[in-house]
A = this chain, B = another copy of it.
Amino acid sequence: MAAARTLRIGLIPGDGIGREVIPAGRRILESLPSSLNLKFSFVDLDAGYETFQKTGTALPDKTVDTLKKECDGALFGAVSSPSTKVAGYSSPIVALRKKLDLYANVRPVKTTAGNSNGKPIDLVIVRENTEDLYVKEERTIEGPNGKVAEAIKRISEHASFRISNIAGEIALRRQNIRAAAAASTRNQAMVTITHKSNVLSQTDGLFRETARRALAAEKFSSIFVEEQIVDSMVYKLFRQPEFYDVIVAPNLYGDILSDGAAALVGSLGLVPSANVGDGFAIGEPCHGSAPDIEGQGISNPIATIRSVALMLEFLGEEKAAAQIYAAVDSNLDAAQFLTPDMGGKATTQQVLDDVLKRL
């Protein structure tokens, strides 16, 4: 038998319910069947608003250094945003994405047999993760009519190409998985390019053209490529979500679309994400720090558990990922242990135990 692969995983719970769900993610990794031949070691790392209040920085250098030097992947919980502007505070997850060049934010949104209102949804939003308005280059001037603030929206050919390329790769991988399962009605892969080039002809125009070019590559010839203006995309996402497969979008549209898609499956507490770079991935539930339910032990661990699977997928461990997805689907279909956001009464721990049992 081959030596086990050992993966070192950084754990960054952050604030609020991040501290309740990240331990659940760790437990999943520790409980993977030994037949997978995977071992894990963990390192606890700080980030978030509380870290900022204690140390003056929301993302300590040590966290970034440790991830870069020691880790193969990481799990990130959530961070609280201060309710009013706080000088010097800036979101650690946005900084982390840039510092580790995690250029793709991959957000699958999926119903299971037991968790849909009739419309089966199985789509992935592939969000560019390093530029657009998230470059945070802003300035404010005092004009004759009061303040005027400006921000730069930056779209590069380089980033647009690589995000479109990975969107294509993901579409192909999904197509292969469907073909192997032979259980799906959809056979052709599809990528929908989202933009607003009717207004932003240069920036979003560049995204659109570059995405078209990237997806015209020979290796993607089996993919049907279409496009939607972002406002119309939101409309269609709500009217016919079952139609979509892979949606590729610049950073901000991807942010908005993924929350929209999450609403369609009933709870943000179900939706995972992975921040993916070359050879590194950070799993991150799409929900926030949820101060309203913090400390009650009722936060939904499913988004984090699915994020663990997604992280493993991008670290090349597709088999482990598939097993975790299957355990989650089975938990949701049984609908016996559901947290309150899903209309149930279960605790975080009960959902975790149920998923572990099915793993």
Contact = CB atoms under 8 A, between A and B. Distances in A.
A315 interface: no
Contacts of A146: 156-158, 161
A232 interface: yes
Kindly list the 7 A-B residue pairs having the minimum CB-CB distance in the complex, ordered from nearest.
A146-B157, A238-B263, A138-B202, A231-B259, A145-B158, A235-B259, A81-B198
A288 B150 CA distance: 30
Interface string A88-103: 0011001000000000
Given A146-B158, A236-B263, A238-B263, 18 more contacts: A85-B205, A85-B209, A133-B153, A133-B199, A133-B200, A138-B201, A145-B157, A146-B157, A148-B157, A150-B152, A150-B203, A151-B152, A151-B203, A231-B259, A234-B259, A235-B262, A235-B268, A237-B263
B140 A206 contact: yes
Given A140-B206, A255-B231, A91 B199 contact: yes
A171 to B, nearest CB: 22
Contacts of A147: 156-157, 206
Q: How many copies does the complex hold?
A: 2
A260 interface: yes
A332 to B, nearest CB: 18
A143 interface: yes
Interface of A: 81, 85, 90-91, 94, 133-134, 136, 138-140, 143, 145-158, 161, 196-203, 205-206, 209, 229-232, 234-239, 252, 255-256, 258-260, 262-264, 268, 288
Contacts of A205: 85, 149
Which residue, A85, A136, A143, A150, has most C-beta atoms of chain B within 10 A?
A150
A113 to B, nearest CB: 22
Given A85-B197, A138-B201, A198-B91, A149 B145 contact: no
A203 B152 CA distance: 10
A234 B260 CA distance: 6
Nearest to A257: B234
Nearest to A197: B85
6 contacts: A91-B198, A143-B158, A147-B156, A151-B153, A232-B259, A238-B238
A42 B158 CA distance: 51
A94 B199 contact: yes
Nearest to A237: B263
Contacts of A81: 198, 229
Contacts of A198: 81, 91
A268 B146 CA distance: 37
A235 to B, nearest CB: 4
A127 B168 CA distance: 35
A135 to B, nearest CB: 9
Which residue, A139, A152, A231, has most C-beta atoms of chain B within 10 A?
A231
